[in-house]
Structure formats: C-alpha cells, structure tokens
Amino acid sequence: MLYFFLKPNGTGNNTSSGNNPNSVAPYTPNTPYGSGFPDITGSSPFNTVTGTGTQAFSTTNYYLSSSQYSSSTNSAWGQAFHSGIQQANGKDALVYARAIRREYANAPVAIGAAFGGGYFAGQYRDGGQTYNLIVAPKASGEISTQALDPYSNGGTAEYKLVAGPDAPSATYQNTVYGDGATTAGADAQHPAFLWASGLSIGGFSDWYCPAENELAILINNLGPFWTTSSAFVTSTGTERLCDAVSSSFGSSTEYSGATSQYAVQFSTTGGQQTRNKSIGAFWRAVRRVVA
C-alpha cells in the first residue's frame, strides 16, 4: 500500500508483485502492478524526481514487514521501493523499517471521546456490518470496589453462581461479539448479566457484558498503560479500565471447558486468561451501534 501511493520515482514496476486483497481505490484488489501503474507519487515530500524527496522511501534496500513468509519461518515479506518487487527476506537481514499507525476511516469521534452514553472504544465488523463499540462510564457502568451493587461479591460479580455450561448451543455463549449478549438458563444464576442488562446510562438501556473479542478491542485501544486517551490512562485517568494492576475483567464468552469464561487483565501486558464462572471478576458494560 505504501509503495502504491508513495512510489519515490518513475522506475518501471515489477509486474509479478502487488497482489493485495485489502487494497483500496484506485488500487484494484488482488491484481499485480502494471509496468507503469502505480506511477511516481504526487506527494512532494515522497517524490525524489520533481519533489523535495525529504520523506522518500529508500531505493537502495528492502523494507521489512511484520508478515512471515509462508514457506519459511525464518523469513518475512520484504518490499523494495526501487521496483515494487516483494519477496522473502531473512528476519535477521540488515534492511530498512518504517513505522506506521492507523486510524478508523469513519470514526464518529476520537478513541476515548464521549459518545453514545459512554466513550468510543473502536469499531469492528460482524456479519458484514460495521459497529461502533461504546464502553460505559466507570462510575455507573463498572462493577468494582468503587461501585458496589446488589450482585457484588467482595466488590466484583460472578458470571454464574454455579460453574457449569450455559447452553447446549454456542449461540448463547456470545463467543464472537455482543449481538444478543445473553445467557441461557435462569437469569438469577447470572449476576453479571443481570447487572448489565439492568443498566440505564445516558438514556440507553442496551448495555451488556462484553464478549472476548470486545474485551480485546478495549485492551488494544484503551489499555491504561498505552492508550492515547487521557481519560483512560493508568493512575490519573478518571475512566481507566483498572483498579489495580491485577484487575481481571470478565467476558461473556464461555471457555471450551464449559465451567470457565475468558477474562483479561488490564495490566502492562493485557494478558488473556480464563476464570471460573463462579469466581467474582470486575465487569465494564458496553453497547454497540451500527456505524
């Protein structure tokens, strides 16, 4: 993608490279480069012929990617900027690297900004639809030692009172994302579910306990030790997703052993773990809306 839009000079392209299923217009997905397509970039800082070239990619060596080469665990995909050729490079090769970052193309607000009764946590695709994930405010949408409730167990809540399977069907185990966000069996057996489903925050009552993958989004975008949102940073953030380094937050996703659930520690590692359903965990409610 970087080569296609920021090609530094007018050298002909290697036409055996360039297939990219994730490409965007005017790039055509899953097609190789043409000899003159792409052409030299129109961005002056990246153009070494008619521009300043101050930010141009080097054409003297390869740039290494983080993608492992399929036929060799010792190699990674490399991208050349003299012709666009892509090939395997040893992971220990002395080549170039260029850091990148990415943002949502259609985000309603910045990550961590107030949105939809809570705070914007990110986006994901589910069933062909893009959703905005919203995390509830800490004071009203988290079970912790700061916000005890009728379902509390020493400041936390159990996913289920008895450590057993929730349903014969995976439909009710909320294994991917939050659609439905329910549990099977008697609701009285599921304190965390009861707590989340009974919330009314910011005029919204569709809050639920996050699934495993939704917790992963919270970790990636709002993890207290690396988020760029000041409200969610460790120690000082008023909305931070931790009360201690060892805080373990539960999900509504059943672990394969049936008596456990997936959980995440919002610590320096964001490590995923499993937790017995009948042992209390911290919970932070979420909701989602179509993007």
pLDDT tens per residue across span 196-217: 888 999 999 989 888 888 998 9
Give the C-alpha separation, 196 to 215, whole Å: 15
User: Which pTM does this prediction carry?
Assistant: 0.74
Question: Where are the chain's structural domains?
Answer: 1-100, 114-290
pLDDT tens per residue across span 19-72: 998 888 888 888 999 999 999 999 999 999 999 999 999 999 999 999 999 888
pLDDT given for residue 175 in this prediction: 42
| Cis amide linkage into residue 38, ω under 30° from 0 | yes
Chain center to CA of 161: 30
Using alpha carbons only, how large is the chain's radius of gyration in Å?
Answer: 24
**Lowest-confidence region among 4-8, 14-18, 33-37, 166-170:** 166-170
Residues in the chain: 291
Give the C-alpha separation, 135 to 103, whole Å: 18
Closest CA to 120 of 222, 44, 43, 235: 222
pLDDT at 291 over 70: yes
Burial 83-104 (b: 16+ CB within 10 A, else e): bbbbebbeeeeebeeeeeeeeb
Closest CA to 220 of 65, 101, 99: 101
Closest CA to 211 of 288, 141, 104: 288
pLDDT tens per residue across span 94-147: 999 999 988 888 899 999 999 999 999 999 888 788 899 999 999 999 987 655
Amino acid (one-letter) located at 257: G
Q: pLDDT grade, residue 151 (50/70/90)? A: low
**Lowest-confidence region among 3-7, 18-22, 147-151, 260-264:** 147-151
pLDDT given for residue 244 in this prediction: 60
pLDDT given for residue 148 in this prediction: 55
Measured CA to CA in angstroms, residue 38 lies from 23, 96, 109, 120, 232 at distances of 13, 22, 33, 36, 42
pLDDT tens per residue across span 233-271: 987 899 998 866 567 888 888 887 788 888 888 776 777
pLDDT given for residue 167 in this prediction: 57
| Cis amide linkage into residue 224, ω under 30° from 0 | no
| 175 in Cβ contact with 167 (< 8 Å) | no
